[in-house]
Chains A and B, each alone.
Chain A
Amino acid sequence: MQTTRSHPKSLFPVSTHYCGGCGHGIVHRLIAETLDELGVQDETIAVAPVGCSVLLYNYLDMDCIEAAHGRAPATATGIKRSRPDRIVFTYQGDGDLAAIGTAEIIHAANRGENFTTIFVNNAIYGMTGGQMAPTTLVNQKTETSPLGRSVKNEGYPIRACEMINTLEAPYYIERVSINTPAKIRKAKKAILKAFTYQKEGRGFTFVEVVSNCPTNWGLTPPDSMKWAAENMEPVFPLGVFRDKGATKEQSEAGEKK
């Protein structure tokens, strides 16, 4: 009997500190499987954020640097410019990328840096105990929006894919989610595509993963997956925003006719 989905080589077989049911574990595994499939574990340099996944280097078996909060795209720029032959990626949460780090991600994307950013969006700050994030939904209650996020005081949730999609340079931008097995399969495809494009030197690739936070949402893990599907996906629509690679394939297919 064969096994399917055996433990990825790039992932240490250890317990993680993530809460039970947290999407980080799923995304880590998808990245690890991707790097295994591309055979690049030994050539990868990961840039860890500040947030729940600050300790991702305890789980991913590869060279890794811890970036300052929000600055991972700048650090990744320094690394990739120095070692364009390596696979470099940032892994960031909604505080890291959409609050303190908005400048760094926009400008790295705008320069078309040839690294991959995996953006895990769960509409809340997990590590610090459940404060409002830039991606928190209107009326969503958090530690710092106890009466629910109000448009008047706090504005609207930020859509990172849409923002990055206004820039010329990025090569591939997709938003996926991980709240059902079918969507996890799609998320894996997107992550694999992003890293494959990087390996081919095509430019900046960005995958936003609509995830969950059972602990700070106050829901059981299965309920949090339902909540994400029902409430987050309408605000953060899933899909491919840009795929410069696909356009070429499509036009080639057109020529073949």
Chain B
Amino acid sequence: MSQNKMPYIKIVTDRCKGCELCVSVCPKDCIVLDTEVVNVKGVNPAKYVGGCIGCASCTLICPDVCIELYKEEKTKKSA
């Protein structure tokens, strides 16, 4: 399978409050707080470090709707 068909996430770092809920629910430890960066809120925002399996747990739990999951959908799932 070519690399760019794997799911991945994008994080809107400006809105991230560094709450680490996404970090805590990711089954593959794909997300960490980026200690190299301090965002406009004065926190280390979340950063995607690869390995996404497209479970959408992070997008479900992020209270600030910072995370977008990019994934090939074979069947249409309802919420």
Contact = CB atoms under 8 A, between A and B. Distances in A.
Are A and B in contact, CB atoms below 8 Å, in the complex?
Answer: yes
A10 to B, nearest CB: 11
A2 B72 contact: yes
Nearest to B24: A222
Given A21-B17, A21-B20, A6 B68 contact: yes
B24 A225 contact: yes
A196 to B, nearest CB: 12
A220 interface: yes
A256 interface: no
A23 interface: yes
Interface stretch (A85-93, A104-112, A181-189): A181-189
A11 B20 contact: no
Contacts of B77: 4
Nearest to A33: B79
A222 B41 contact: no
A150 interface: no
Interface in B40-59: 41, 43, 55-57, 59
Nearest to B76: A2
Interface residues of A, number: 38
Contact of A21 (B15, B41, B63, B79): B63
Nearest to A5: B59
A227 to B, nearest CB: 13
B73 A4 contact: yes
B68 A5 contact: yes
A24 B15 contact: no
Nearest to B14: A15
A13 B24 contact: no
Contacts of A18: 63
Interface of A: 1-8, 11, 13-16, 18-26, 29, 33, 37, 178, 180-181, 184-185, 188-189, 192, 214, 220-222, 225
27 contacts: A1-B70, A2-B73, A3-B69, A3-B70, A4-B56, A4-B71, A5-B56, A5-B67, A6-B68, A7-B65, A15-B15, A15-B64, A20-B43, A20-B64, A21-B19, A23-B63, A25-B64, A29-B63, A29-B65, A178-B61, A184-B60, A189-B79, A192-B79, A214-B19, A221-B20, A221-B21, A225-B21
Q: Which among B5, B19, B65 has the highest number of chain A CB atoms within 10 Å?
A: B65
Contacts of A185: 60, 79
Contacts of A19: 17
A4 B69 contact: yes
A21 B14 CA distance: 15
A11 B62 CA distance: 14
Contacts of A184: 60-61
A188 B77 CA distance: 13
Given A184-B60, A189-B79, A221-B24, 20 more contacts: A1-B5, A3-B68, A4-B71, A4-B77, A5-B60, A5-B67, A15-B14, A16-B63, A16-B64, A19-B17, A20-B64, A22-B63, A24-B63, A26-B61, A26-B62, A181-B25, A188-B79, A192-B79, A220-B20, A222-B20
